[in-house]
Amino acid sequence: MNQYVFLNERFIATENAGISFRDLAFQRGYGMFDFFRVYNGIALFLEDHLDRFYASAKNMHLPVKQSRNEMRSIIYELIQRNQINHSGIRITLTGGVSPDGYSIAEPTLVIAQQHFQPCTEEQFKKGIRLMSYEHQRQLAHVKTVDYLMAIHLQPKLKAIGADDILYYTNDLVRECPRANVFVVTKEDQIITPSQNILKGITRNKVLGLASKDFLIAEKEITINEILSSKEVFITSSTKEILPVMQIDEVVFRADNNVSQALHKQLQRLIQEYSLVTAE
Amino acid sequence: MNQYVFLNERFIATENAGISFRDLAFQRGYGMFDFFRVYNGIALFLEDHLDRFYASAKNMHLPVKQSRNEMRSIIYELIQRNQINHSGIRITLTGGVSPDGYSIAEPTLVIAQQHFQPCTEEQFKKGIRLMSYEHQRQLAHVKTVDYLMAIHLQPKLKAIGADDILYYTNDLVRECPRANVFVVTKEDQIITPSQNILKGITRNKVLGLASKDFLIAEKEITINEILSSKEVFITSSTKEILPVMQIDEVVFRADNNVSQALHKQLQRLIQEYSLVTAE
């Protein structure tokens, strides 16, 4: 079965979807994207993702030809054409094919769907191990294509057996390259940073769920605070919620009750969303 | 007349040189390059550029299939095929088409030639105006494709009538996005930063030339020092040497004698190199 992508103004077979090597994303790293899951044929939290996509595009000085309605139609036509259960859709927008290789041109738009398996119960139980690294993402509030540092650090991660990176700056916790970070304090308060980070859609959903049963705060967390907290977990569209079992040499011996409870609530929210949207 | 690019393992017509939208440079900004001028059919300072290219590739964990000899042959075959006077060649190497969209795969290699006009006498006389901006390039010593901040700032540059950006961090001058910065002090000493920058090939050539007639130093320059210096100029493969006439609100009323003398010497060096290499 052929798979399609939407490239600029039309659907084409994936194998024919070539990008120019003069594209500003390829030559200058100038591009942005958004990514959301497709669950039971429904684009999860699509309006939140479109909000962020259009905001990122504006911030990057990249005009989007498609109206919001057109974007929704394209996304659902792509889902209809490809028929992939358990998938994700990535909308990428770049500076386009620049005549001088530097100035923003007519943006390139790629909407592509790919297979995607959510984390298993076992992966949740196992949790993840983070390596801290001092780094501040540029244009942190925009979902840019800039993962240079994260990918550059992969061999180091593997060498020490860590799963992901925890960025911090001036002793303050920021985020993982593709996820937000939460701590549960010994007083059962739930805290997540709000400055100089990308505000994830799952982060916002989890904050909403947590506020019903916990005191929540969006504020700075120091490295010392995170290392002495009761529970740490990360959130993202692909990972939902995952407990952090270790940061550098510090092992958390947490029961992860809070992340477990919130994970169940998030999964319920996802199911409800897909049912209500399908009607 | 058809133009060719070298893509991975073969020469193909430019219009057929499509890159996958799953390439790590396109999706994650993970790529690097080098760029050199072709002058009278000669690849200028090719060995210096190949040194830096292979060093960048190693630092980025990207294996290069082609030996140095093979790389030289490909470059000269490209020059033969395309026959473009006044041109530049860009060798781009990326993380390749990654199955999971994140892990480094088999690298993508693109060697492409493009038209290029060196600066005119008038442009040299006019010089350029810089806008200072606090920013530190990531992996500064590697020629990565990361120009996110530089391109993001273009509308701001245009709004105030500046030509380029002067990056600084903690009050210390770093570099322009595509050029190195030199100052001439009131005592006729020539200084250029050497930490947390990309060391340009032209920068090194100019340091060599300047050392014959001047005291030179590779060391930190503060913003105050640059603003109170006698002359400021930038160096790059495309711009050679260009005097800086203004930084933010500070206008330099320099005669630019030093940059003019060095520019003549650099142009002589370029001519000599092309003549000697052609033999």
In sequence order, what E strands does B40-116 have? 42-43, 87-94, 108-115
Nearest CA in chain B to A105: B151
Give the torsion sign (CA, A170, A172, A176, A178): negative
- When pLDDT is cut at 50, 70 and 90, the band that residue B154 belongs to is very high
Is pLDDT above 70 for A124? Answer: yes
Is pLDDT above 60 for A41? Answer: yes
Q: Best mutation site among A26, A115, A164 for testing chain B: the one with the most B CBs within 10 Å?
A: A26
Structure tokens at A154: 């992969």
Residue A23 contacts B where some CB pair is shorter than 8 Å: yes
Are B145 and A26 spatial neighbours (Cβ–Cβ below 8 Å)? Answer: yes
Are B192 and B175 spatial neighbours (Cβ–Cβ below 8 Å)? Answer: no
The residue among A256, A207, A214 whose CA lies nearest residue A235 is A207
Are A262 and A206 spatial neighbours (Cβ–Cβ below 8 Å)? Answer: yes
Structure tokens at A188: 């059962």
Are A32 and A145 spatial neighbours (Cβ–Cβ below 8 Å)? Answer: yes
Name the residue with tokens 């760029």: B35
Nearest CA in chain B to A114: B100
Closest to B21 (Cβ–Cβ): which among A60, A102, A112? A112
From the CA atom positions of chain A, what is the Rg in Å? 19
Is pLDDT above 60 for A210? Answer: yes
Number of other CB atoms surrounding residue B41 within 10 Å: 15
Contacts of B26 in chain A (CB under 8 A): 19, 23, 25-26, 31, 92, 94, 145
Name the residue with tokens 């890159």: B19
Q: Quick one: pLDDT at residue B1?
A: 52
Cα distances (angstroms) measured from residue B256 to each of B121, B124, B126, B251: 13, 10, 11, 13
CA distance A176 to A167: 6
Contacts of B138 in chain A (CB under 8 A): 135, 138, 148-149
Q: What is the pTM of this model?
A: 0.96
CA distance B164 to B158: 9
Helical ranges in A83-214 per DSSP H: 121-126, 148-152, 154-160, 201-213
Q: What is the pLDDT of residues A221-277, one digit of tens each?
A: 999 999 999 999 999 999 999 999 999 999 998 899 999 999 999 999 999 999 998
Q: Quick one: pLDDT at residue B278?
A: 83
**Once rounded to an integer, what is the mean pLDDT over residues B130-151?**
98
Which residue type does B241 have?
I
**Once rounded to an integer, what is the mean pLDDT over residues B107-120?**
93
- When pLDDT is cut at 50, 70 and 90, the band that residue A1 belongs to is low
Helical ranges in B161-196 per DSSP H: none
Contacts of B236 in chain A (CB under 8 A): none
- Under an 8 A CB cutoff, do A145 and B23 touch? no
CA distance B155 to A61: 8
ipTM comes to: 0.96
- When pLDDT is cut at 50, 70 and 90, the band that residue B19 belongs to is very high
Q: What is the pLDDT of residues B191-216, one digit of tens each?
A: 999 999 999 999 999 999 999 999 99
Residues 6+ apart with CB under 8 A from B158: none
